[in-house]
Structure formats: structure tokens, C-alpha cells
Structure 1
Amino acid sequence: MGLVPTIDLSSADAPSAIDRACREVGFFQIIGHGVDPAVEGAAWDAATEFFRLPLDDKLAVAIPDGDAYGYGPFAVERLAASRGERTPPDLKETFSVGPFTEPPPAVRDDPSAAFVFSPNRWPSALPELETAMRSHYDAMASLVERLMSLMAVGLGLPPDFFVPSIDRHTSALRVLHYPDLSGRGIEPGQLRAGAHSDYGTLTLLRQDDAPGGLEVRGVDGDWHPVPAVDGAYVVNVGDALERWTNDAWRSTMHRVVVPSADVVGSTERQSMAFFHNANWDARIECVPTCFGPGRPCRHEPITAGRHLMDKFRSTQY
């Protein structure tokens, strides 16, 4: 059995299993999640077609300076920069979208919210991408609502505890393409995605089983592979949820590695990640069951928006 457990959301012990996984590892895989395979498949296939477009078509929807969404070209992002590390650029290209709703008036007046609510961009060469991404975005948001309810129960809270903090979430959906690395020069220390933790509440990942995949750093300090489980999503705790639980749950370091040099055949890889963020103005503070006598709150309260922007500013794009 690997480091990361697989949990069936339809089982009666799902809340306690989730709580245990979040305390011990910060990662788990879920089955019994109810996501429509047709919705997931349409998004996956549309993403594949997008990354096959000519570079000029992709660059036409490149992320502008100061914005969050659009195409991220190959070998530009450095995720390890969020930890203050200087590393070679990550060996991937991406396409990201954000909220499909307008910000509420109170948020609209906050200049720093413009980044999270920046426009989505769609390639004219692939009109079906918008419909597919929007449908998958909505499916992931619904799944997060279910997960957060189970998480609340696992923490000894009412099932609807998190609802007022996530009913206007500011989440992002990102599809990632890791090209075949055969014949490419790879710099020392270069990875497909540098070691990092995620910023928000939690992340849902759909990955394939191609070589050179996700690894999680255990409490033993070693890196452990997270194999693809058929039909499953990988879930990990983000920095905001770690803070919300007074560090009871772990936001764990993870990375995507370069395939072994002895791999035969293509090493191309693809994944889809839904980065869930709470409402912009949600207050992130110790939940009632995670502090008490002899267990003080470790962090000052902060809004989810400020927390997110503090994290983004630490990363070089």
C-alpha cells in the first residue's frame, strides 16, 4: 500500500477516513465521487486538442501580465519560487480559467481582486473548449461542496459549516501538458513541476498514468509516487485549509518529476487540476474544534483573498 490512501466517498466512514488522511499525509484519492465521465472526458479531450494547436493559436490567448487566466507557455513557470528557491523553469505548458461569475459588489471594489476575477480567454480555433471547460469547472465545484461537507463532519463540525465561506468561491481550473522529453536537454534540478504546496483550500487532480508523474513528500522526508487510480481524483489539502484547521491538516509538498532516462517510448503526460479557493472575503480562522486550552491558534485571522494574493506574490511568473 502506498503513502496516499484511496477513499470511497459513498462509504459511511468517509469523513473519518478523510480526517485521518488529511492529518497524516494531506493527500488522498477518491472514488465514488459521482462525476459524470462524459463531462470529464469532454474536458480532457478538448484540452488535448488545445495543446495540439499551432503555437501562434495558443499564444493568441496567452496570460497577459497582471492577469491569471489563459495559456502559459512551455518552460516559463517556476513553482518552486513560491518557496524562495531558484530553479530552472518547469517543463510544462498550461491553460487556465477562473470564475465564470461576476464578483459581488463588495469584492468588485477591492482592486486586488481584479487578478482573481480577470477575464477568461478562449481560442477561436477551438470553440468547443469553452463549453467543455465550463462544464467540468461546475462539476468540480459541486464535488468540492460534497467534499467540504464530509471534511466538516470529519472535523466534528456541522456538515454545512463551510458553506457560507465557499458559496461564491474563486476557484481556477487548469489543464497541464507535459510534452515528451525525448531528445530535449534537461538542466540539473529541472522538473516538470517544481516542489510546492497549493495555496487554496483543496485541489482536485485528474492524472493519467504516463511516466514522470506526481510525487508527495512524506513525513519521512522521502518522495513517494502517487500512481494513477482508474476513475479516481487525487485530493490534497491547500495552505488555506491547513491554516483553517490550525495546522491539524497538512498542506503537503509535492512535485511532478522528469521520467527516468531508461523509459522507452513517449513520455508525454496530461492532467487537469481544480484549485479550489474560498470566497474572496471569507474569513480564514481556527475552526472551533481545532483549538482550545493548551492548543492556541497559530495564525491570525485573514481573508481568503488576502491569503491567496500573498501566496501569488511570492511566485515568479
Structure 2
Amino acid sequence: MTDFSVPVVDISAYVDPAATDEDRQAAARAFDEAARTVGFVQILGHGVPAAVTDAFAAALDSFFHLPVDAKKAYRTPPQINRGYSPPKTESLSLSLGLAPSNRMHDFFEAFNVGAAVSDYPGLDLPAEDYPENVWPAEAAGFEEAVSAYFDEAGRVARTLTTMFADALGLPAGFFEGFTDHSLDVLRMNNYALPPGEVTLDGDLTGMGEHTDYGIVTVLWADQVKGLQVLGRDGGWHDVSPADGALLINLGDLMARWTNERWMSTLHRVKPPIVDGRIERRRSAAFFHDGNIDAVIETLPTCLDADGTSAYGPTTVGEHIRAKLAGSRAGVANPEAEREAARVLAARPA
């Protein structure tokens, strides 16, 4: 197995207004190298206060420890990407058109919040794409703590796209016109089964193989094994965040923009088994997906030598709806051949 590690990039030069242009360019070059070679990146210097993440983690616990019936009261229809998702009601591999018999078997449970129509009163946005959030009344302080982290994660995502413009040789502020009413979603995940020893039977999947859908994902996670990344060597590799780090990966829309100069990294979550026993694992992914009406097509600087691209143009809305129809509604996505082929070529592990 090839040595594999997730690069660490300090982005403090893009957070500290006193940083020099040279410092920012060095960070941008480091991120470009990591995006070209691994696709998952650990970032330090992001500026998210520990008090915010501590309160956020406690808020996750307060909701996921509620009785099942209380949590299910916040379930929404599959086309509404908000609220509670019980275990085994999704299959992330279907977002790539992959899953045996279209079974919904991912055992994680999740709670989603995101950008809402009411956040953009001056725009006529579709309510099905920007639905209002539901907040669990039984979890004291949940809305406040989650909202505070949502704001911080969004700031980090926008900081990253500022750096992306520099790394890709684009004009300053290039991505702002594609993200000023971005379809942002924060998905809080809880990987938990009844404590104790477990025998894996091939039917136990934490979260199936998938790529993220949008521009960039900011991931907060416990340091518990489970997350695996598909490396360029065709093998699956364990990934855990360093102390104080956030994990960053790129989504399909960035792969389309860059013609796979920056790949949307395939990843999955295996059952969190430690020494033969189930270990609880939590994570929270902030998906910065872009404006629903934005047209994404390959950047002129990333076209092949003959002026072509592996991808045609699409809108954020068209792309995200096809992905969600797979993962949440069980409709296999026929538009993800390139990503599906990478999964099928991966070495078993």
C-alpha cells in the first residue's frame, strides 16, 4: 500500500488582515498542491474559536441523545434537505448511481440545517431549494449553538474560495458572483449503534462511497476512525483530523470548474469499530454549494490542450437535485459516470 497522508495547510494568512501577499500566495500554492495530489486537506489557522466548536458538539449530543420518537418528529420529505434523517433511510452511493438493489442502508443518523428563503428577502428563490429550517425544541440551546457554528463554517468556506481564486490564477473575488446566495447546508452526523461487540455481515455501512456535490466542504469530526478517502493509488485510507484542524474536501462542481485539476474526492465512512467494539463517532459537514441558478462550466485556464473538457455546463440546481434524488429518495443518479467508475476501480478494503 502506498504511503498516504492528508496535507496540512495553514490558512491564517487569509484570516489575518495583517498578513502579506507573499504569505497568502504561499498558502494558496500549498493548497493547490494538496488539491492536485490528495484532494483532502487539513486546515489550521482557520480562526474558529474552540468555544464555538465545544458548544456545537454539546448541541449535537443534546439532540442525538433524544428518544427516537422525539427525533422523528423533525423528519422532512426526501426532497426537503432539512431536519432529521433516521438510520437506514439514505444511501449515499446512489448519488453516484451505485448501490446493490438500491437499498437504503447507510446506518448514520443526521440533522440538516441550511440557507433559507428568509435569509435572502430581496431574491425570489425556490422554497424547495432554500427551505426554512426546523429546530428541535427539546434540545435546549441547539438553535443558538448550531447557528453560531454555521456562521463560522460559512466564513471559513468563503475564506477558502478567496484562496481558491489565487491558487487558480483567477481574478480576486471570482467566486463571489457564484456564491452570494449560496445553497449552503450543514449536515450533522451521528454514527452510533447499540454499544457492544459486533459481527460485520456486509450489510453494515456507515456512509456509502460518494463525492460531495458542491464547491467545497468544511468538515468538523471526532478523532475516531471511520472516515476513509480513496487515494490516487486506488486504495482506501483512514483519515482523522489533527488537533484543532478542520478537514476540507472539494466537491463535484469544483471538479467541473477545473476539469479535474482539482478532483472531487471519493470518500466513505466505515462502521466505527475499535478493538471489535462499536465506537460512537460524530461529524458535521458544511457544504458550500453555490447559487442555485449559477452556471458551472470549465474555466478557460483548465481546458484540455484541444480546448475541450470532460464536463459540459450545468447549473448548481440541476446538479444538486440529481445528487439528492439518489441519496435521499433512492433514485440512482445516471449523470455521475466518472465518479462511479473510480469507485468500481478501487481495490477492496
* TM-score normalised by length of structure 1: 0.91
Deviations, residues 158-181 of structure 1 (Å, cap 9, x unaligned) = 231111111111110011111145
Deviations, residues 17-44 of structure 1 (Å, cap 9, x unaligned) = 1111111121111000111222222111
Q: Secondary structure at the match of 2:291?
A: coil
Classify 1:244/1:18 alpha carbon distance in 2 versus 1 (closer, same or farther; 3 Å): same
2:64 corresponds to which of 51, 57, 66: 51
Matches within 5 A, 1:208-287: 208-210=222-224, 212-260=225-273, 262-263=275-276, 267-287=279-299
Residue 104 (structure 2) pairs with residue 91 (structure 1)? no
Q: Shift of the alpha carbon at 1:250?
A: 0.4
Residue 206 (structure 2) pairs with residue 192 (structure 1)? yes
Q: Secondary structure at the match of 2:247?
A: strand
Residue 220 (structure 2) pairs with residue 206 (structure 1)? yes
Classify 1:185/1:97 alpha carbon distance in 2 versus 1 (closer, same or farther; 3 Å): farther
Structure 1 counterpart of 2:40: 27
Q: Shift of the alpha carbon at 1:183?
A: 4.3
Give, in whole Å, the separation in 1 of the partners of 2:68 and 2:326: 29
Structure 1 counterpart of 2:152: 139
Structure 1, unpaired ranges of 5+: none
Contact (CA 8 Å) 2:273, 2:279: kept in 1 or not?
Answer: no
Q: Secondary structure at the match of 1:236?
A: strand
Matches within 5 A, 1:143-154: 143-154=156-167
Contact (CA 8 Å) 1:107, 1:281: kept in 2 or not?
Answer: no
Tell me which amino acid in the other structure corresponds to 2:7: P
Contact (CA 8 Å) 1:46, 1:128: kept in 2 or not?
Answer: yes
Contact (CA 8 Å) 1:203, 1:236: kept in 2 or not?
Answer: yes
Q: Which runs of 4+ in 1 moved over 4 A?
A: 103-107, 183-186
Deviations, residues 289-309 of structure 1 (Å, cap 9, x unaligned) = 212642423322222112211
Classify 1:35/1:100 alpha carbon distance in 2 versus 1 (closer, same or farther; 3 Å): farther
Contact (CA 8 Å) 2:97, 2:326: kept in 1 or not?
Answer: yes
* Aligned length, in residue pairs: 311
Structure 2, unpaired ranges of 5+: 14-22, 330-349
Give, in whole Å, the separation in 1 of the partners of 2:62 and 2:183: 26
Tell me which amino acid in the other structure corresponds to 2:9: I
Q: Shift of the alpha carbon at 1:54?
A: 1.2
Classify 1:170/1:96 alpha carbon distance in 2 versus 1 (closer, same or farther; 3 Å): same
Q: Secondary structure at the match of 1:114?
A: coil
Residue 95 (structure 2) pairs with residue 82 (structure 1)? yes
Structure 2 counterpart of 1:9: 11
Q: Secondary structure at the match of 1:173?
A: strand
Indicate the RMSD between aligned Cα atoms, in angstroms.
2.1
* TM-score normalised by length of structure 2: 0.83
Deviations, residues 200-256 of structure 1 (Å, cap 9, x unaligned) = 11111111112x421100111100111221111100010011101122110011011
Deviations, residues 100-150 of structure 1 (Å, cap 9, x unaligned) = 453567653xxxx43321221111212411111111111111111110011
Identity %: 37
Tell me which amino acid in the other structure corresponds to 2:209: A
